[in-house]
A and B are shown apart, each in its own frame.
Chain A
Amino acid sequence: MTHEDAVLLLPAYVLGAFDGDVAEFEAHIDRCPRCRIELAAYMDTTASLGEAVEAVPPPASLRRAVLDLVPESPRPSPAPARRFSPISWFSAPAAAALLAALVLLLAVMAIQQQQLQAARSELALSSRGLELLTSTETIVQRLNPVADPASTAHGHWYHRPGIDTQVIVVEFLPTPPAGDSYYGWLHHADGSWQPTGAFSLDGNGYGRQIILGGDGSDVQGVTVTRQPKPTPAPSGETVLRWPAG
Chain B
Amino acid sequence: MGPRESEGPTDATLLARARGGDRVALGTLYDRYASPAHSLAAHMVGTTPAADVVHDAFVALLERPTTFDPALGSFRAWFMTAIHHRCLNLLRRDRPMVADDALFEVAAPDPEPVDVIVQQLRDASVREAVLRLSVEQREALVLAYYGGLSQSAIAERLNLPLGTVKARMRRGLITLRGLLRGEAIPMEMEEETVE
Contacts and interface: CB of A to CB of B under 8 A. Distances in A.
Interface of A: 8-12, 14-19, 36, 39-59, 61-63, 65-67, 69-72, 126, 129-130, 133-136, 138-142, 156, 158, 169, 171, 202, 204, 206, 208
A16 B172 CA distance: 15
Interface stretch (B48-56, B99-107, B183-191): B48-56
B167 to A, nearest CB: 8
Nearest to A45: B177
B58 A69 contact: yes
Given A17-B150, A71-B21, A138-B3, A130 B27 contact: yes
A41 B7 CA distance: 22
Contact of B173 (A16, A42, A69, A129): A42
Given A9-B166, A19-B150, A53-B40, A134 B23 contact: no
Interface of B is mostly: helix
B30 to A, nearest CB: 5
A129 B81 CA distance: 30
B169 A126 contact: no
A67 B30 contact: yes
Given A16-B88, A140-B3, A11 B35 contact: no
B24 A139 contact: no
A168 to B, nearest CB: 13
Given A16-B145, A62-B54, A42 B24 contact: no
B163 to A, nearest CB: 9
A55 B39 contact: yes
A63 B173 contact: no
Contacts of B2: 134, 136
A68 to B, nearest CB: 9
B71 interface: yes
B176 A45 contact: yes
Contact of B73 (A43, A67, A135): A43
A39 B72 contact: yes
Nearest to B44: A53
B115 to A, nearest CB: 15
Nearest to A59: B51
20 contacts: A11-B169, A12-B144, A16-B145, A40-B73, A46-B145, A49-B126, A50-B36, A50-B81, A52-B126, A58-B50, A61-B51, A62-B34, A62-B54, A63-B30, A65-B51, A70-B62, A133-B28, A134-B27, A140-B4, A140-B8
Given A53-B122, A57-B38, 4 more contacts: A16-B145, A17-B144, A45-B177, A63-B30
Contacts of B13: 171, 206
Contacts of B8: 140, 156
A210 B162 CA distance: 58
B1 interface: yes
A202 B22 CA distance: 12
